[in-house]
Chains A and B, each alone.
Chain A
Amino acid sequence: MLTQKADILFQLQKEILQLQGFRYKVSDDCIRPVLGPIDSSFPNGIFPLASIHEFLTQSVEDIATTSGFISCLLSSLMNNGGVSAWIGSSQKIFPSALKFFNVEPDRIIFIDTKNPKELLWLIEETLKCEGLAAVIGEVAEVSFTASRRLQLAAEQSRVTGFLIRNNLRNINTNACTARWRISSNPSIIKDDMPGIGFPAWNIELLKIRNGKPGTWQMQWAYNKLHSISDPIIFSSTEQRKTG
């Protein structure tokens, strides 16, 4: 009886989403990122592709952790041989490191420009390019109009966009589907052993259209996101070599 009720509710929710214009393509299923417990806050339990995700960052360290989290998402988005564009004001990303997040660094095209107007033009143009897996843009300011343009472009071409906002002073309402904040967590190491564990993050989903915001502690290990509540710890046989 209870499950029946839940089923009916789920079905009704789905219908409401459809009425609200939420589109979903079955072909996205193979590339959408599976984020474990985070998935439950997305509409229909599916990571929203073909939309703009905004990431708030406060410091250079935050940009690095955010880039790491985006790389996790890219690893599944670029799974089928896709190409992504990473647009910023200067080359910050060290391509070799992307390989640790299961992303092929040679399939990412980095575009640099110092001019903020050109930056937005570039992000919009790349978002309009069908066939790209994802577009990552590092921007300081995005006005409401600009964000709506980007969101529409993403919906049209079904390219997923990630905006890294590096100036918290100008956070305004905008048309992005989701707003995230990623910060670093101390990594977990067994019994005070020396060394550093897998990258661990505090993932905050501040805003999500048609979904429920939430906070999670996760870590990236063995090409997957794991919840920190049952941490993956290096076993002694797989201890990384140092030096």
Chain B
Amino acid sequence: MQKRFVTIWFRYLKTDWFCRQHPELLPVPFALTAPDHGRMIITAVNPPAHQQGIVVGMVLADARAIVPSLKYFDDIPGLPEKLLSSIAKWCIRFSPVVTTDLPDGIIIDATGCAHLWNGEQAYLDSIVRRLKKIGYNVNEAIADTPGKAWAIAHFGDQKSIISCDEELPAFLFLPVAALRLEVETITRLNKLGLRQIRDILSMPRSVLRRRFGNHLLMRLDQALGQQEEIIHPVHPIEPYSERLPCLEPIVTATGIEIALKKLLELLCRRLQQEGKGIRKLIFKCYRVDGNVQVIDIGTNSPSSNVHHLFKLFEIKISSIEPALGIELFTLEASKIEDIYSTQEKFWDKACGLENPELIKLLDRVSNKIGADKFHRFLPAEHHWPERSVKIASSLNEKMTIQWRTDLQRPIHLLQNPVPIWATAPIPDYPPMLFRYKNKLHKVKKADGPERIEREWWLEEGQLRDYYTVEDEEGRRYWLFRSGHYSDENYQWFIHGFFA
């Protein structure tokens, strides 16, 4: 079968993308710049700027001398790769084999595709119309080799369809730059008076190889179809989802469980092959009456273990209302992460925080009662008791400071200090008596005071003088006086219980 290739050249790829983001820039001349050897070099221009004589490679200062109103923005590194790959993936609707042609084009293998659009003209028109609608300026060509199509797209006149029989004349009169050569080779060819492709076609190959190397010959052969050009098509990422339609509507929990297990096995097999794990998973049940029942789970670390994921769902299956029956189940992984497998040990079973059983347990806990219900605490750099511990953000977070052991702290700290009534003999002595929950406690032994000031950069208020006291029955309390003894509005509080 005669091969056909479409080449699409995005002459203003980057600036067109900028215009899509900011439509108001469309009629304004602007350029993208990048620093180079201490100067700002223009890396892309839009059509209005191009018409006024600004070209890529110019120094920004020169360009602004020509067009004082020139706007300029910082270039984004890696932008063309990203844009082209997404355009190429979008173009898979026109042909299964599409590849990016950096820095500013894509190549579509249109062999056997055009007749679906009733001919090549309609096929090309369809591609170009849709790309132009998105906002890209494109030059396109279709020919029997990618090289020839590239040459026509970049250097050809109005005609963009080169049929097999008339191809050569159209191609022969193109400049040598249409062969996709390096700049040095082109200048050398031009210096020698070889300006058009037909000039070098007539020369002996050995001479060309000696003077310009193999690359020129390879490009020539590729353009003429004497050497196959290998193109690497882009592969779209298949969504991580599975579906299971049912012949008969499912109404029982057992049925739902079987469906879920089947879907999980399918999905997890694929994930295991790719070395990925699930963080978030959505299970949807489409009911006969059009209603959709949704349950979802999340995990604390990526997992592709069917049994574990099923256990997480198991808690929630009872919340599904099948009503008249479920006819379609879908399972969709909305968050995927790479699994870093660790070496398994025969002995010295992991019992620390990395214990996989513990992570599974916390997954079940967070799916049952919520992820905010379990905490791990780390020391914080504060003296104020309420702030001296902080909640760790993850299981693996390490301590930045050590736990303090030089000062006594109660094992049971009240969330909010409770006001108590207390009698203290003289300033800064521990109380003799205090009444808490209508019970009078006689203080037998006491320790203190330990003065803790509020952190003025965080909040304002009274300081605290903490006392550890023990009553006649040996019960130990942590009391404090809020404010100086001499203040009028000091108040006693109980803040904790010692073991």
A46 CB–B CB distance under 8 Å: no
Q: Is the CB of A64 within 8 A of B377?
A: no
| Chain B contacts for A201, CB-based, 8 A | 499
Report Cα–Cα, A195/B499, bound state, in Å: 16
A51 CB–B CB distance under 8 Å: no
| Chain B contacts for A15, CB-based, 8 A | none
B475 CB–A CB distance under 8 Å: yes
B415 CB–A CB distance under 8 Å: yes
Report Cα–Cα, A96/B388, bound state, in Å: 8
| Chain A contacts for B413, CB-based, 8 A | 92-94, 97
Interface size class of B (residues with CB under 8 A): 35 or more
B497 CB–A CB distance under 8 Å: yes
Report Cα–Cα, A113/B468, bound state, in Å: 30
Distance of B128 from chain A, by nearest CB (Å)? 60
Report Cα–Cα, A61/B412, bound state, in Å: 9
A236 CB–B CB distance under 8 Å: no
Distance of B299 from chain A, by nearest CB (Å)? 15
Closest chain A residue to B465, Cβ basis: A243
Q: Is the CB of A125 within 8 A of B361?
A: yes
Per-position binary interface string of chain B over residues 370-382, scored 1 when its CB falls under 8 Å from any chain A CB and 0 otherwise: 0001111111000
Partner among A60, A131, A185, A189 whose Cβ is within 8 Å of the Cβ of B355:
A131
Per-position binary interface string of chain A over residues 146-175, scored 1 when its CB falls under 8 Å from any chain B CB and 0 otherwise: 000000000000000000000000000000
| Chain A contacts for B360, CB-based, 8 A | 129
Report Cα–Cα, A235/B412, bound state, in Å: 27
A196 CB–B CB distance under 8 Å: yes
Distance of A231 from chain B, by nearest CB (Å)? 13
Partner among A80, A104, A125, A186 whose Cβ is within 8 Å of the Cβ of B473:
A186
B483 CB–A CB distance under 8 Å: no
| Chain A contacts for B349, CB-based, 8 A | 131
Report Cα–Cα, A122/B404, bound state, in Å: 31
Distance of B430 from chain A, by nearest CB (Å)? 9
Distance of A65 from chain B, by nearest CB (Å)? 5
Partner among A67, A83, A98, A185 whose Cβ is within 8 Å of the Cβ of B353:
A83
Q: Is the CB of B445 within 8 A of A94?
A: no
Per-position binary interface string of chain A over residues 217-233, scored 1 when its CB falls under 8 Å from any chain B CB and 0 otherwise: 00010000000000000
A95 CB–B CB distance under 8 Å: yes
List 12 additional A-B contacts (Cβ < 8 Å) besides A106-B379, A106-B399, A110-B376.
A97-B411, A99-B403, A109-B358, A109-B376, A129-B360, A131-B357, A133-B351, A195-B445, A196-B408, A220-B499, A242-B447, A243-B450
A contacts, CB < 8 Å to B: 60-61, 63-65, 67-69, 71, 80-83, 90-101, 104-113, 115, 118, 121-122, 125-126, 129-133, 184-187, 189, 194-197, 199-201, 220, 240-243
B contacts, CB < 8 Å to A: 349-353, 355, 357-358, 360-362, 364-365, 368-369, 373-379, 385, 388-389, 392, 399, 403-406, 408-413, 415, 444-451, 468-470, 472-477, 496-499
User: What are 10 A-B contacts defined by CB distance under 8 Å?
Assistant: A64-B498, A67-B411, A97-B411, A109-B376, A110-B374, A129-B358, A184-B476, A186-B474, A194-B447, A196-B476
